[in-house]
Chain A
Amino acid sequence: MLANLKTPAQRHTAIFYGLIMVGFYFVPVFSDNFYLLSVFTTAYFYIIFATSWDVFAGYSHLMNFGHALFIGIAGYLTAFVDLHLGLPPLLVLPMCAVVCGLLGMFIGYLTLRMQGPYFAIITMAFAAVAYESAIMFSEYTGGEEGIPGIHPLTDSLIGDYYFVLVVMSLIFLFLLWFTRGRWGLVLKAISQNEDAVLASGINTAWVKIRAYSISGALCGIGGSVYAYSLTHVGPTSMEQVLSTTILIMAMVGGMGTITGPFLGALILVLFNELSRDMEEYRLLIYTVMVVVIIFFAPRGIVSWGQPIARAFKLGGKRGQAGS
């Protein structure tokens, strides 16, 4: 990957995200405040959700409005396996990845022919079906209450913090590697002109299905860790608000960049937590801010990287910020 960092701008971007990641590892060194660590852990979860959303939806511009489906499915699976079979997390995580990956492949296959708005509606519908089912089949799922009592990942707060952080780091690095290579290029090309990609001899349907599958698998890992971390899973883990939040974070950060959803999730979670003093105005400010950012910067806040870098005389003339 380092070999790909040709321009100074790309090097500066890499240093920028590298420093943030290293900073995350040092947070517990400076503070073991329960609240602070849990805020950061929440941010890591949303980074996993938003970046895994991005690898399919952000690159292909097929708006996935039901990404939380994978979080919920993985969460319930984790609860069943943990409580009934007692398997360790290191076995459960790959299991969730496989199940959600296959689920993504299946949904991808069903929705192959659908364009923009149709795709948005069907993804919403699948998540809603799962949500209603979780409430309806309450003997297995605990209904609205969900399933409590999942065993924690580690026996300490700091242990959990590092577990989540390591999983997030690995997923983030994998996604960067995956999208900076040929798959990212082909997915981007498909979003701009699918016919020309077909005419280049590439099976676009398969490329999209594969990306959706990866998106689901990685989100499934995140959803499983999420359930362990809360020691609980419930229907709220796949409700529409969560899916929409993920997508808004990715859009605010900058779709189709992986780094954008990373920043979008981090900034919005931190803002949401730090603005608790504003009490009832908090969510109003949050939502209005989101509308304003999407309106003025539809390419997300990573599109500001280049002008900012130039203002500080960093970076070269060309080379996209965040890529």
Chain B
Amino acid sequence: MSSLLKRYDFIIKIDLIWLSNYVASFLLILILNFVLPRMMPGDPLHAIYGEEALIAMTPEMEAEIIKRFALDQPWHAQLLTYIIALLRGDLGYSYYYRTGVSDVILCFLPWTLLLTGLAFMISSCIGVILGIESGYRRGSKFDGFMLPIMMFLGGMPDFFIGIILLLLFGVTLGLAPLGGAMSPYAGHSGIDLVMDIAHHLMLPLITLVLVQLAPTYLLTRNAMLTTLRARFIMTAKATGLSEGDIRYKHAGRNSLLPVVTAIGIRVPNMITGALFLEIVFSYPGVGTLLNTALSARDYPLIQGVLLIVTVTVLTTNFLVDMTYTRLDPRVRYAR
């Protein structure tokens, strides 16, 4: 019993160290969100909302906002108000959509999550498998074919790949819709609805998968080359294991470790990539929202998007870290 308690205590301690990391990132964003508008010269109200928004506002609305953000109070009172509002889930007011920022974002977020989540899973699976095969058969025709392609793909800017695919399949060939997440007013339901959504999702998804494939592939391949030199591969061969077991159970499984570690860096990249692609494909996710907010200079909305994206990234990274300890026994016990 006591030993169990001790181990539990140990895990909590580890988690605290990790958590401190995430808390630090989160605080950084909060500070940025809070300080940046207030650092700007002139009236903080102008800074927070921008000139364009103020033109559209009535004096009553202005007064209401000043009161709401405690803008006439000293900075610590402002900070307190800011934090309390955040805790209530209040991210501010979007003058462009004329509703709460959090409500607007919640409308757009699911599409982004659908796109990035699917792209993440597909690109990881394909990238890892191709990387394992390519690394195991280094110097083969397959490897010689994949490596340059992947290096080229990895070098391209994501939004340009999107543009090319859009121009090719959407504009020229007319095989894919030019925008949106589903056909408006079509009234699809059931399987039709799913197919319609898939049809709209296809092009952005393929682009994002293509873009994300290269880093996973290259990393897996490199990890594979390193792992194949380890002595336990020789042990496995001397034990008479089958090719498949050596390739996947031993070399592959070990090569997965650095790939999982790198997810922490890939997730922000992935989300950023998705934002750009949404804009290219007019896909109604957070990226399109951000673009709208940018052109409308709806600053609270931009801030809100940033906050949500950060929280998403940090949460994924946290989950990845948890998975990693399951995958690598050395980390599980050594930390």
Instruction: Decide whether A and B are members of one complex.
Output: no
Q: Which A residues have a C-beta under 8 Å from some C-beta of B?
A: none
